[in-house]
C-alpha cells in the first residue's frame, strides 16, 4: 500500500532542496518527489544523487518529477509524469514493471487514460489555487474530487488518488471523506517552522479512516 503523504521538494538551489528534503524525512515524511525545474543537468543530477542517498537512509520512496532518464541514472524508485510529459506506456517500456509511475490528472478522462497505460498512482488536482505551478489546470475543489472518485468507484477503477494543490491541515478531513487515498504537498511542509508537529498531525488525519 502506498504511503498517504507525499512531499514534493522545493528550493531554487541544491542546498535549499537538500535542506528541505532532509527536514521532511527527519520529521517523518517517507515519500519524496524531487521537483527541481529549469536547472542545469549537472545540478539536477547532483541533487538527485544526494536526495536518493538520503531517502535510502530513511527508507523512504524516492520519485523523480518529469525526468525519466535521470530517474534511470540514479535508480530512483519511480517517476511522476505531468500531463504534457512523456507518455506512461513509453515510460513503462523503458523503466520496466518494478518502478513506480505516477501521473498528473485533472479529469476523470485523464485518470482512465493513465490507468489504461499502466500508471500506478494519480496526482489529481489542483484542489485550489497554488503558486507552485505556472500553468494551472481548472481548480477541482471538494466537489470535483467527490464527483471523480464516485465515478471511479462506479466503474470499478481502483487506483490510489492523491489530492494536490494548495492543501492545508484543515482540508485533510473533508478531502479524505471524498475517498482519495492521500495528499501531495510542498509549501505546506516547506514553510512550516514546526515540521515534526505538522507531519504528525497530517499523518493522524490521513490514517484515521483506513477503511475509506
Rounded-to-integer distance, Cα 72 and Cα 155, Å: 34
Residue 7: which of 202, 168, 189 has the closest Cα?
189
| pTM assigned to the model | 0.94
- The rounded radius of gyration (Å) of the Cα atoms in the chain is 16
Under the phi-then-psi rule, with left for phi > 0, alpha for psi from -120 to 50, and beta for the rest, what region is 156? left
Q: If DSSP codes are grouped into helix, strand and coil, which group holds residue 79?
A: strand
Any idea where the domains of the chain sit in the sequence? 5-206
Q: What is the DSSP letter of 75?
A: T
CATH number of 5-206: 3.20.20.70
What are 139's three cell numbers? 481548480
Taking only the tens place, the pLDDT of each residue in 34-90 is 999 999 999 999 999 999 999 999 999 999 999 999 999 999 999 999 988 899 999
pLDDT in tens, the chain (212 residues): 689 999 999 999 999 999 999 999 999 999 999 999 999 999 999 999 999 999 999 999 999 999 999 999 999 999 999 988 899 999 999 999 999 999 999 999 999 999 999 999 999 999 998 766 666 688 999 999 999 999 999 999 999 999 999 999 999 999 999 999 999 999 999 999 999 999 999 999 999 965 44
Q: Which residue carries 485518470 as its cell?
A: 111
Residue 4: which of 139, 140, 185, 137 has the closest Cα?
185
What are 23's three cell numbers? 527536514
CA atoms within 13 A on the CB side of 155: 12
Amino acid at each position: 500500500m502506498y504511503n498517504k503523504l507525499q512531499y514534493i521538494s522545493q528550493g531554487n538551489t541544491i542546498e535549499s532542496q537538500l535542506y528541505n528534503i532532509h527536514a521532511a524525512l527527519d520529521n517523518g515524511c517517507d515519500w519524496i518527489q524531487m521537483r527541481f525545474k529549469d536547472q542545469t543537468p549537472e545540478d539536477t543530477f547532483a541533487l538527485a544523487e544526494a536526495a536518493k542517498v538520503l531517502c535510502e537512509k530513511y527508507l523512504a520512496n524516492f520519485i523523480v518529477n518529469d525526468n525519466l532518464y535521470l530517474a534511470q541514472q540514479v535508480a530512483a524508485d519511480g517517476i511522476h509524469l505531468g500531463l504534457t510529459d512523456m507518455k506512461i506506456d513509453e515510460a513503462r517500456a523503458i523503466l520496466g514493471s518494478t518502478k513506480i509511475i505516477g501521473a498528473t490528472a485533472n479529469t476523470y478522462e485523464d485518470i482512465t487514460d493513465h490507468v489504461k497505460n499502466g500508471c500506478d498512482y494519480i496526482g489529481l488536482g489542483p484542489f485550489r489555487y497554488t503558486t507552485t505551478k505556472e500553468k494551472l489546470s481548472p481548480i477541482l475543489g471538494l466537489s470535483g474530487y467527490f464527483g471523480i472518485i464516485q465515478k471511479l468507484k462506479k466503474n470499478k477503477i481502483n487506483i490510489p488518488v492523491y489530492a494536490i494543490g494548495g492543501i492545508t491541515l484543515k482540508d485533510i478531513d473533508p478531502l479524505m471523506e471524498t475517498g482519495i487515498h492521500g495528499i501531495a504537498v510542498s509549501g505546506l511542509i516547506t514553510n512550516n517552522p514546526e515540521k515534526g508537529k505538522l507531519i504528525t498531525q497530517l499523518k493522524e488525519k490521513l490514517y484515521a479512516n483506513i477503511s475509506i
